[in-house]
Every structure is written in C-alpha cells, then in structure tokens.
Structure 1
C-alpha cells in the first residue's frame, strides 16, 4: 500500500512554481472581481436609497402658440422644450429653444387613410 505522499504524486520544482503563480493570479482576479461587484451593487444601492434626483430647471417666459390650440403636454429636455398641442383635430409637437423660446421645428401626426 502506498502512502498519500508518494513520489509519484509530487511535482517537479518548476511545475510547483508555475502552479503557485497560477493560484496567486486566480486569487488576485477573484479579489478584483469581488471589488467590482461591490462597487456595482454599492452604486445601485446608493441610487435606490437616495433616488434618481435631477437638477431642477428654471424656465420663465411665454411661448406664442397658434390661436385655438389646446396644449396636451409640455416637456423640457436639455436645451429644448417640446409642446404637444391639438388644433382643429390635428395633433402636433412643436420644439422650442429653452433659453430663447425660438421655434426649432415641428412634427405633425396624422392617421393612416
């Protein structure tokens, strides 16, 4: 009967050094990945607890719309204001510059015939 420490199971010294280095690299890689997951879940947890707050936008002034137009919605996004309105049964969205309130374009919606 052979003992568990027999000469057949031993590695030569060069292979032993390579195996030791490989174990060290694997441990370092696992540690680095663990810190990465901690950072990711920490950032997600922070956003959940604190909330997705955005900076308030302060816009003042008047935007001239066509007579008889009913505003359905108005949205501020970056440096643009999108105003969706209904006029004479037609729905359209008009875009304005947030700083100057100058028109930047419009988009009309129509049903298929």
Structure 2
C-alpha cells in the first residue's frame, strides 16, 4: 500500500483522464454558475418590472351593453378584457386600462 505522500508518478493515461475530469468539473461549475446568475437575474427582473407595471389600485366604471351578463374580467398589460354573455352570444369587450375607453369587441360563435 502506498502513502499519499509518495512521489510516484501516475501512468500517463491516468493523468490524461484526471485532466479531462478536472476540465469537465470546471466546465460544469462554470455552467452552473451562469445558470444561477440567469435564474437570479430573471427573478430580479420580474420583481422590478412587476413593481413598475402593477397599478396601486383600479377604480372606475365601465359601461357594458344593456342586458350583458359578466362572465369574467381580466387586466392584462394596458387592457381590461371583460367577457359577457348577451342574448345567448358570448363576447369579449376590450377597454383601455387608463381611460376605460372601448378598444374593441370579439364575438364568439359556434360552427353550424
């Protein structure tokens, strides 16, 4: 049994293999470091952008067509999307988030 302090040289093939393993380990460590940087960068970006884009509160009234039954309402970006059912027809009305002005209507119809 040899001690770790012995000055014996390793076989050249074993040395090459150890160098390869060290380089693979270094590459893996660098790749993992970049992965962590990307992850924390994405989280930080989302936190900062989330603070800027989320309004403190949304208040106001949106005028819908007479007889419209609201099914859902979603705030996305700078739009408010309100899905309503009126006279058996499903429609999604889009409104500007800042001014509450109508931006468009999308009507859904089933194929006959």
Q: Shorter-chain-normalised TM-score: which range?
A: 0.5 to 0.7
Q: Which has the larger radius of gyration?
A: 1
**1:27-42 matches, cutoff 5 A:** 27-35=25-33, 39=36
Equivalent position of 1:76 in the other structure: 75
Equivalent position of 1:6 in the other structure: none
Using a 3 Å threshold, how does the CA distance of structure 1 residues 10 and 66 change in structure 2: closer, same or farther?
Answer: closer
CA distance in 1, matches of 2:34, 2:93: 45
Q: Which runs of 5+ in 2 are unaligned?
A: 1-9, 44-49
Query: How far apart are 1:23 and its partner, in Å?
Result: 4.4
Q: Which runs of 5+ in 1 are unaligned?
A: 1-8, 47-53
What TM-score, normalized to structure 1? 0.61
Using a 3 Å threshold, how does the CA distance of structure 1 residues 72 and 27 change in structure 2: closer, same or farther?
Answer: closer
SS state at 1:25 partner: helix
Aligned residues: 89
CA distance in 2, matches of 1:111, 1:10: 76
Root mean square deviation of aligned Cα: 3.2
Task: Please list the CA deviations of residues 63-82 of structure 1 after superposition, one character each: whole Å capped at 9, or x if unmatched.
Answer: 11111111111111111100
**1:59-74 matches, cutoff 5 A:** 59-74=58-73
Query: How far apart are 1:95 and its partner, in Å?
Result: 0.5
CA distance in 1, matches of 2:70, 2:59: 17
